[in-house]
Amino acid sequence: MTLHLYDSKTARLQPLIPVSAGRVGIYLCGATVQGPAHVGHLRAAVSFDTLVRWLRRCGLDVTYVRNVTDIDDKILRKSAEAGAEWWAWAYRFEREFTHAYDTLGVVAPTYEPRATGHIPEQIALVRRLIDRGHAYDDGRGNVYFDVHSQSDYGSLTRQRLVDMRTTEDEAQIDQAVEAGKRDPRDFALWKARKDSEPESASWDSPWGRGRPGWHLECSAMSRRYLGDEFDIHGGGIDLRFPHHENEQAQSHGAGWDFARLWVHNAWVTTQGEKMSKSLGNVLSIEALTQDFPAVAVRWALSTVHHRSAIEWGDQTLPVAAAAWVKFSGFVERAISMVGEVSAEDIAVPACELPAGFVAAMNDDLNVAGALAVIHEHLKLGNIAIDEGDAALVRKQQILVRSMLDVLGLDPASPQWRSELGVGSGSVGRGSCAYGVSAEHGALDALVRALIAERAEARAAKDWARADALRDRLAAAGVAVADGRDGASWKLV
């Protein structure tokens, strides 16, 4: 079955037909490193991480480019307000984003180009657009794209030019740039240096010292690393206009076919509003992982369809942690019983994974459908453990871990294995994963009381009550694993 992805431009599912057979090129708009990373910023990185993992599992050679915008109006303004060099300010937050990506187990891109590292390519693109009649300079160092010159302008977002007031990002409009436009809907390709800006934040060009407009870098860098035409362009849904519309106009104006498919992820919201710094509802990775393991954050971001908004609330991480405990508990029990399978064993090709899982992932990355299949195999694995069927336990360990690995959530992976307490003792034997201190002894007694109550519910086939007790323990940070010699527990 061919992977189908929802293409924002055509507003329908489209098959992925690579430009080059067996290879896929992806360009994802990455961070503008103006401030700290929060969970809303990381939605796109995690969503596209799942896509990249699935494509590679399908045997495709993926070139994945995720840029860093390290120069723009916001960075210059915020660094000046803080009394910092703009480049130091940008690098500080670039490192914070990298740390956040690493914390959540996001696979590193093939290339991670910076805007400031590709100034010659951007200047060359501006000159090409002028030569082709799509751009003009105002004689004061600014260069603009003439939106009327591009017949398909507005096609990405299905808008008419006559209905638009501006094609600039509202936060980056200033009168010095607006003054030289022939039409207020034209957008800036190159901005003349202002006296109020640092000399180091400008470069020599045929139009005088200045710096690129926000949209220019992505057209130049995507071509540099992926060619005139590539397979998938991605980013948050908020980037569709004006950023991606303007990227497409620049690239088409230059004579390049550009992106075949446009894939956009939805926002993370709090109380129905997009998570942003201006709303004051920012949740940093550092803050979130003080009370919950990073894998719970990854679970919350990975297990919702990329085109569905995630409403972040007080119960988001407790629910995610409880869900992950069910799978990590099975993997822990399976390893304790039959040993840990190798990384090569869990690298099961897509064609050998359960058909339902493959069908779900190929249907626009339907992670909910994929999780339902993983749950089925989790159940089979737990039954096999209870029945002492070692061969089936090993098989289900391979399948469950392999499918979870596609979502970046394999409990025994190097990324998450520190959260896995393989070999912890049985509660029935009076031990726990964290030693025998007085505090743990008291906790052990309380936990064992709930586990005993759960065992009674299971014996009475009151599965709802048994699951409720297990979830209650999970919400408190206690993972329970059932074994042949009784139940064991550990803190997560």
3-state helix/strand/coil string of 379-393: HHHHHHHHHCCHHHH
Tell me what pLDDT residue 179 has.
85
Domain that residue 64 falls in? 4-265
Dihedral, 337, 368, 9, 160 alpha carbons, nearest 10: -140
What confidence tens digit (pLDDT) does each residue in 128-139 have?
A: 999 999 999 999
Nearest-10 crossing angle of helices 367-387, 316-338: 40
Domain for residue 203, yes or no?
yes
The secondary element (H helix, E strand) that includes residue 178 is: helix 175-178
What confidence tens digit (pLDDT) does each residue in 117-160 have?
A: 999 999 999 999 999 999 999 999 999 999 999 999 999 999 99
Domain for residue 211, yes or no?
yes
| Domain of residue 245, CATH code | 3.40.50.620
Tell me what pLDDT residue 432 has.
33
In this structure, how many other beta carbons lie within 10 angstroms of the beta carbon of residue 113?
21
Tell me what pLDDT residue 434 has.
27
Rg (CA), the chain: 26
Asked if the model's pLDDT at residue 486 lies above 70, the reply is no
What confidence tens digit (pLDDT) does each residue in 241-264 have?
A: 999 999 999 999 999 999 999 999
Domain for residue 291, yes or no?
no
2 burial (CB, 10 Å; 0-12 / 13-18 / 19+) is exposed
Instruction: Give the CA distances from residue 458 to residues 425, 446, 447, 467, 470, in Å, rounded to whole numbers and listed in that order.
Output: 21, 19, 16, 9, 11
Domain for residue 390, yes or no?
no
Our CA angle for 215, 68, 141, nearest 5°, is 40
Domain for residue 338, yes or no?
no
Amino acid at 415: Q
pTM of the predicted model as reported, rounded to 2 decimal places: 0.84
Tokens of 205: 């060009």
Domain edge (last residue) among 265, 300, 333 = 265
Going by C-alpha positions, the residue among 112, 82, 77, 83 that lies closest to residue 97 is: 112
CA separation for the pair 206, 188 (Å, rounded):
15
Mean pLDDT, the chain, rounded, equals 89
Place of tokens 């090409």: 128
Instruction: Give the CA distances from residue 120 to residues 116, 216, 240, 382, 488, in Å, rounded to whole numbers and listed in that order.
Output: 9, 12, 26, 59, 61
CA separation for the pair 199, 370 (Å, rounded):
53
Domain for residue 334, yes or no?
no
What confidence tens digit (pLDDT) does each residue in 208-224 have?
A: 999 999 899 999 999 99
CA separation for the pair 201, 13 (Å, rounded):
42
CA separation for the pair 227, 254 (Å, rounded):
13
Place 429 in a pLDDT band, splitting at 50, 70 and 90: very low
Number of domains in the chain: 2
Place 460 in a pLDDT band, splitting at 50, 70 and 90: confident
Yes or no: say if 327 and 374 are a contact pair by the CB < 8 Å rule.
Answer: yes
Domain edge (last residue) among 216, 249, 265 = 265
Yes or no: say if 238 and 154 are a contact pair by the CB < 8 Å rule.
Answer: no
Domain edge (last residue) among 265, 300, 325 = 265
Asked if the model's pLDDT at residue 272 lies above 80, the reply is no
Tell me what pLDDT residue 13 has.
98
For residue 372, the Cα-to-chain-centroid distance in whole angstroms is: 21
Dihedral, 46, 172, 120, 255 alpha carbons, nearest 10: 80
CA separation for the pair 30, 16 (Å, rounded):
22
Question: Side-chain half-sphere of 184: how many Cα atoms within 13 Å?
Answer: 9
